[in-house]
Structure 1
């Protein structure tokens, strides 16, 4: 067995994803090719419904205006590699946002229940998400050939590919993988001040404090960068119920909007 094949097998020892009832079997006829990198750009984001941690809808125009690359995070509750690769990615991401690099992450939930999805997303950094059961999820899964989680796909805002295996990039380049992704996408977006974007991202970050008030020097407190961070152990039943209720209200509101179109 070649080294590359062995390494690929080891890396894929995450959580396998089963297609419900095999209704969406992937075929060459459907794809046109078995190599996702050769597919034309799939500009799904323009019609997507993206939400933040408050389960408030985020304007797509704002999202596209703030990012040179979009990282699609195919996730499932309590799924990470044994080396906590996603915890490492949280740290890389927060350092990138500390420098205002134009990168945004969108959670693509693969969970089997809404409750699991809400708990999983509550554990994530200040990035965005599709709602549970969004039909575009299964399309993205097959479009990018995702068979296990966690999985990272990196694209430009127009859907063109930057990297179909972001986790392998993290293995090889570490935090420099983000710079490599941005260099491929070309830096063109104007930086946003995160302190002015709290409504979009949600309230969970402590932003860079540039010596305002009693602060003697700038600081940046990270909530999601420690390898031992396990927020799901902190959430009680009421917390989970609140999250699920917010998600349901967002789904119901979206259903009404879709029905009125």
Structure 2
């Protein structure tokens, strides 16, 4: 649900459309800012980003107000945002886990969390991470697209991150064989948990959290079928539902491999 920071050709007005988003359209870059249409989440996002700035969390854009054209204005976070899921190195996975932990820690004891522990990003996949060069390679250094952020518990975000950064069977590599592919995925789930600093009690619930996020993703896309107003949009929505359900079946079939890696 992100807008890729890789731009198209600038428009006549100097606005550069940002492509890659699956939900929000009309997002553009103007100089060192990003403009997004105002949504029901705008007020919460503005409060959250203001809180993160005050806490010194550097891995998120800054909310800069509105432009008078019905759009929120954010600082542009330079770097590379991948348009597709793929395999990630151990170093990249570890950096993602550390980034998520820093984000969660910055929201603890915040007035926005209510009865929950933290604010969850709720979509911390690689497609919502900004990568920058560090030590000879690209690593995630920031998160973008906070439209679905809400109070929650750490495992909600970590389960989604374990799925989209480590498991995603679409990229498991059939030629490797199921066991070797799953073993590599499970090792990275453990690496993610280590980098996040997940305690033993929470580790026991991570696989369940992963499966829950796969189920929730399928339900979310299924709820959007009625709003798919053309055949192409409906086909893409059905594909995302089917993919989420295949991912869930894959994870459940190899649940013990993942659980064993976390013990």
TM-score, structure 1 as length reference: 0.28
Structure with the greater relative contact order (CA < 8 A, sep ≥ 6): 1 or 2? 1
TM-score, structure 2 as length reference: 0.28
Q: Which has the higher helix share?
A: 2
